[in-house]
Structure 1
Amino acid sequence: MPSATRMTPTLLLALASTAVLADGNLMQRTTLSGDWGGLRSQLEADGIRFTGDYSGETAYNAHGGLRRSARYSQNVKLGVQFDLSKLYGLDNGGKVQLTINDRRGNSASADLVGNRLPIQENYGGLYTRLTELSYERSLFTPALNVKLGYMAMGNDLGGLDSGILCNFMNAGFCGHPLNMSGGSGWTNYPNAHLGARLKYDFSPSWQLRVAAFNVDPQSNGNSSRAWHLGPKHTTGTVLPVELVYKLQGELPGEYKLGYYYDSSNVRRIGSDREVAGRGGHYLLIDQALWNDPTSAGRSLHAFGQYSASSKAASPFTRWYGAGVVLYKPFEGRPRDTLALGYGRAVPNPRSREVLEASAFEAGRDFPDLDSAEQLIELSYGYQATPWLNLRPDVQYIIEPGAFSGKAIDNALIVGLQVKASF
């Protein structure tokens, strides 16, 4: 990749700082770089919308795990959306989305704890890449929306639209159940592939989503494929189907029931034979339990996650997650959140049998491990300004060695997530 295209996070922050000095009202503006002297608003009115955000996550292992130390990782995302209806005066011209992503840093899970569920949700794929080039528009009727191009299927499927799960820093919560991508060709941001997605609204409450995406494992996390839209080696197609119900009323809710099928042939765990048709299903829930009648915006939501994947080829076959999020915990903090979650990732018994057999052949004892890695996480989202969020975070990892077959003490992690919108 030519050096001119390597836009480092340091350069991006330097540019943002220059914009800050040129535009006032730092604490009130909605983005760090402001309105660019009115140019940003004018461009958006004309059909060109720029976005950018930064997230930095620092995690310190205070107890247990492998060693005491801290690790930092970061993600910078830049995007531009072209509204073709506004730009060219078209009726239902659709929108083109271009997104570039850059990740840097080190993993607290790999270096300090040795667990499977990433403590920092923004760690992985440490290079600059194209993460989306897509076209979206309604088709035949306003109820039918189509999107196609180069994108991560997890942008539109497999997560809760409300964003409740990203009140946490651990990737076990924030995003999508990890056994979906761990045991099939399902890809989550920033891994993108060629595909198409359809949404159809039966009513304001009911929606159906279906998609088809190319499966190309050799391109996942491969920096040499950072700017290649086409696949290197196609193994099959992954086909997700998702039914969405959004409960209306005083206590709103969001419910998702999904199924996915991957036509790729892959090696069966613990065998030389191949298996075809990896699949899985999931249920996601976000339900408001309470709204404060005396304080607008103060509410308590509960969430639940269940996901099951192929026993033949997935590293872990079950994920269970549950928790609560309190919005506006204090009267003077209308955009703050307080979140508590519990998750349980169950390793595939076949994977454990392989580890036990390997230990036996090497003459080693296999440790007495629990049946799953478990996670307890507590976080507070402090909205310092409209564009800056600070999230102190505590995670307790139970049985960190459940997936690796190693005896590792439970770990206590203290962290801080920083998010800023450019």
Structure 2
Amino acid sequence: MYLKSIITAAGALCLGSSLFTAQAEPFNADDYLTGDLGGVRSQLHDKGIDLQLMYIFETGTNVKGGQSEHQYSYADQTIFGVDTDLEKLFDWQGSSFHVQFVNRGGQSDNLATKAETGQLLQSLEVYGRGRTTRISAFYYQQKLFDDKLDIKLGRMGFSSQFAAFRCEMAYLGGCSSQPGNFNSTIYNFPIAPWAAVVNYQFNDEWYLRVGAIQMNPNWLSHGQRLNFLNASGTQGVTLPVELGWNPTINNLPGTYKLGFWHDNVGGDDLYFNQDGQPLALNGGEAKRNHSRNGGYFVVDQQLTTEDGSDQGLSVFSMGTFNDRDMTTVDRSLIVGLSYKGLFDGRDDDNLGVAAHYLHVSQRLADGARLQIRNGQLVDVQNDEWGVTAYYTMQVTPYFKLHPEVQFLGNPGGTSANADVWVAAIRGDLTF
């Protein structure tokens, strides 16, 4: 209730401000399968209302590897959203409101589970958080001081605001924000807890973003999926900060981000029990740590260009650093190259290849080694690594297809699991 009161009061303060003039986004009916809907969509846009309807599907099979080869899985999600320009509607300068719903469907088990591959991250990233409909965004936005200050208050996930990363792969480790894939106190899309995010744009290149995001595990339950208000059971808050740099190097654009987060929730220790003894030998309940920290970086830089356009070669990378005492994967890294417009007549297509690396916390490995010295037969987890190659085809302005091939070595960080080859395809359709 305290967090909600702060958000309500701050929202009222922002509504009274008139220091910023909103700027409308251009509208192009060709970007939608349904076009202009007989002029309705463009009329709504002129009034300050933009509708979003998107369908995404992912399907794949383990060509080789896993306890059961040639398994097949399918998942999809439908996204419906409304972006409202409150300046156009009510003359509230610089203000807007955003609402989004997401329905996730498909088969109940993801490919990794069906094939029993043992891998640390899913091959089909659209899985997760249950086959149901959820509120994925519900927030007010206020821009002030000539667009330098941007305040968002309401419900939004960590991944929609921090550590944003390109998402052209079906492999979870190469799609969008990564901290939430490893840390139980960070919720990625489509979970949307209460949050406050403030962004200050120092100039055209530099910005600083800070936030306070509610940590409440009850948002994960199906019973809270369409609750607009607040779920009981708030445990604490996550406090992220991100410094961003968007330079032009040799007349080519780049994006660089450095982030850090802290929470006052913590989690169960991987090595010690409540008596300070190793869990692997003595069992019992895990020691409870009451806070945790983590960090990340993002790099996305265009290296070459064709006639000054966004076509050409780019390099991209993202790394995460997580608390090794509480997080199974304490380090992750992905590095890749992509080329946009490699083939004549396919200016918007993108060919890419990326290498990814996941490091299992040494705390788990230490516990396994204690068990081995005690005569038990267990696997010691270390590193998982892999390579993903993909091709993004812009079939039409509103439809993309992304076929890809994934190789995963040492799945689960142990040689006890066979290497895995996965063939997958993803489709994005905007109505």
Question: Smaller-chain TM-score range?
Answer: 0.7 to 0.9
| CA positional deviation for 1:181 | 4.5
Paired position in structure 2 for 1:224 = 223
Say if 1:397 and 1:209 are closer, same or farther in 2 by CA, change over 3 A: same
Paired position in structure 1 for 2:23 = none
Question: Is the contact made by 2:314 and 2:337 (CA closer than 8 Å) also made in structure 1?
Answer: yes
Q: Residue 301 of structure 1 is aligned with which of 307, 314, 319?
A: 314
Deviation track 1:258-302 (CA, whole Å, cap 9, x = no partner) reads 100011142222223221220011111011111134x84421110
Question: Is the contact made by 2:371 and 2:378 (CA closer than 8 Å) also made in structure 1?
Answer: no
Q: Residue 91 of structure 2 is aligned with which of 89, 109, 116?
A: 89
Paired position in structure 1 for 2:136 = 131
Instruction: Name the CA distance, whole Å, in 1 between partners of 2:150 and 2:72.
Output: 44
Paired position in structure 1 for 2:126 = 122
Question: Is the contact made by 1:65 and 1:400 (CA closer than 8 Å) also made in structure 2?
Answer: no
Q: Residue 365 of structure 2 is aligned with which of 346, 349, 352?
A: 352
Paired position in structure 1 for 2:344 = 331
Q: Which runs of 5+ in 2 are unaligned?
A: 1-28, 275-286
Equivalent residue of 1:268, what SS? strand
Q: Residue 156 of structure 2 is aligned with which of 151, 156, 161?
A: 151
Question: Is the contact made by 1:31 and 1:421 (CA closer than 8 Å) also made in structure 2?
Answer: yes
| CA positional deviation for 1:360 | 7.8
Say if 1:265 and 1:309 are closer, same or farther in 2 by CA, change over 3 A: closer
| CA positional deviation for 1:52 | 1.1
Instruction: Name the CA distance, whole Å, in 1 between partners of 2:258 and 2:236.
Output: 23
Say if 1:315 and 1:367 are closer, same or farther in 2 by CA, change over 3 A: closer
Paired position in structure 2 for 1:417 = 426
1:420 aligned partner, one-letter code: L
Say if 1:82 and 1:34 are closer, same or farther in 2 by CA, change over 3 A: same
Within-5 A mapping of 1:186-197: 186-197=186-197
Equivalent residue of 1:116, what SS? coil
Deviation track 1:137-182 (CA, whole Å, cap 9, x = no partner) reads 113552000001011121011123xxxx31211110101224x552
Paired position in structure 2 for 1:109 = 112
Paired position in structure 1 for 2:393 = 382
Question: Is the contact made by 2:369 and 2:380 (CA closer than 8 Å) also made in structure 1?
Answer: no
Equivalent residue of 2:151, what SS? strand
Q: Percent identity?
A: 27
Instruction: Name the CA distance, whole Å, in 2 between partners of 1:204 and 1:195.
Output: 26
Is 1:40 aligned with 2:41?
Answer: yes
1:381 aligned partner, one-letter code: T
Deviation track 1:83-133 (CA, whole Å, cap 9, x = no partner) reads 1111123333x1111100011123112222221111111111221111111
| CA positional deviation for 1:312 | 1.6
Say if 1:211 and 1:236 are closer, same or farther in 2 by CA, change over 3 A: same
Paired position in structure 2 for 1:366 = 378
Instruction: Name the CA distance, whole Å, in 2 between partners of 1:386 and 1:119.
Output: 26
Deviation track 1:349-393 (CA, whole Å, cap 9, x = no partner) reads 2123445666888x7522465x21112100001111111111111
Q: Residue 301 of structure 2 is aligned with which of 259, 275, 287?
A: 287
Equivalent residue of 1:345, what SS? strand
Instruction: Name the CA distance, whole Å, in 2 between partners of 1:136 and 1:360.
Output: 57
Question: Is the contact made by 2:58 and 2:426 (CA closer than 8 Å) also made in structure 1?
Answer: yes
Paired position in structure 2 for 1:341 = 354
Say if 1:359 and 1:45 are closer, same or farther in 2 by CA, change over 3 A: farther
Equivalent residue of 1:110, what SS? helix
Paired position in structure 1 for 2:281 = none
Instruction: Name the CA distance, whole Å, in 1 between partners of 2:144 and 2:268.
Output: 40
1:99 aligned partner, one-letter code: Q
Question: Is the contact made by 2:159 and 2:188 (CA closer than 8 Å) also made in structure 1?
Answer: yes
Paired position in structure 2 for 1:175 = 176
Question: Is the contact made by 1:183 and 1:278 (CA closer than 8 Å) also made in structure 2?
Answer: no
Equivalent residue of 1:29, what SS? helix
2:171 aligned partner, one-letter code: N
Within-5 A mapping of 1:260-271: 260-271=261-272
2:377 aligned partner, one-letter code: D
Instruction: Name the CA distance, whole Å, in 2 between partners of 1:360 and 1:149.
Output: 52
1:176 aligned partner, one-letter code: S
Query: What is the RMSD of the two structures over their aligned residues, measured on CA atoms?
Result: 2.0
Using the TM superposition, name which of 180-189 and 117-126 deviates more.
180-189
Instruction: Name the CA distance, whole Å, in 2 between partners of 1:346 and 1:286.
Output: 23
Paired position in structure 1 for 2:66 = 65
Equivalent residue of 1:43, what SS? helix
Is 1:320 aligned with 2:365?
Answer: no
Instruction: Name the CA distance, whole Å, in 1 between partners of 2:182 and 2:379.
Output: 24
| CA positional deviation for 1:412 | 0.4
Question: Is the contact made by 1:360 and 1:366 (CA closer than 8 Å) also made in structure 2?
Answer: no
Within-5 A mapping of 1:13-28: none
Instruction: Name the CA distance, whole Å, in 1 between partners of 2:391 and 2:376.
Output: 43
Paired position in structure 1 for 2:51 = 50
Instruction: Name the CA distance, whole Å, in 1 between partners of 2:38 and 2:318.
Output: 44
| CA positional deviation for 1:183 | 2.4
Aligned residue pairs total 383
Deviation track 1:298-322 (CA, whole Å, cap 9, x = no partner) reads 2111012221111121111101110
| CA positional deviation for 1:246 | 0.5
Instruction: Name the CA distance, whole Å, in 1 between partners of 2:232 and 2:105.
Output: 24
Q: TM-score, normalised by structure 1?
A: 0.86
Within-5 A mapping of 1:387-402: 387-402=398-413
Paired position in structure 2 for 1:245 = 245
Paired position in structure 1 for 2:290 = 276
1:396 aligned partner, one-letter code: F
Question: Is the contact made by 2:134 and 2:191 (CA closer than 8 Å) also made in structure 1?
Answer: no
Say if 1:74 and 1:205 are closer, same or farther in 2 by CA, change over 3 A: same
Say if 1:394 and 1:232 are closer, same or farther in 2 by CA, change over 3 A: same
